[in-house]
Amino acid sequence: MEDCIFCKFVSKEIPTEIIYENENVIAFKDINPKAKIHFLIIPKKHYETILDIDDENTMKDMFKAIKEIAKKYNMDEKGFRIINNCKEYGGQEVMHMHLHMLGGEKLSLNI
C-alpha cells in the first residue's frame, strides 16, 4: 500500500533492521521502545487492523513469529507481553496491523 511506512519496510524501499522473518511476517525494532526489548511483528501484506486479517497462513505465521522470536531473544523462560492496539479506542496510530512484543525485563506498565 502506498504511503504506508510498514509496507515500505516490507518492500525494503525504506531500509530497517529486520530481526526476524518468515513467509508472511517480518519483525523489527520499535523506534520508540517502551521496554528493553520492543519489537513490532507485522504481516507482509497490508491489513489495516487485526480484524482485517482473513488469511489463516498469516495468522499462523504471526504466532510462529512470537514463538521463534521468544526463543531467539531469550524471552521464552521469563516471558514477555504481546499488545495489539486496534483502531481509535485501542490507540492505534500506524494503520498497518502490528503486534507489539515487549520483554527483556519485568514490565511495569499495565493495561
46 touches Zn ion (CB under 5 A): yes
CB 37 within 8 A of CB 73: yes
96 touches Zn ion (CB under 5 A): yes
| 5 contact choice in Zn ion, ligand AMP, none (CB below 5 to 8 Å, kind-dependent) | ligand AMP
Q: How far is the CB of 87 from ligand AMP (least distance, A)?
A: 10
**98 carries an active-site annotation:** yes
| Coil vs helix vs strand at 83 | strand
Amino acid 102 reads L
State which residue, 31 or 77, has the beta carbon closest to ligand AMP. 31
Of the candidates 88, 103, 92, the residue with the CA atom closest to the CA atom of residue 29:
103
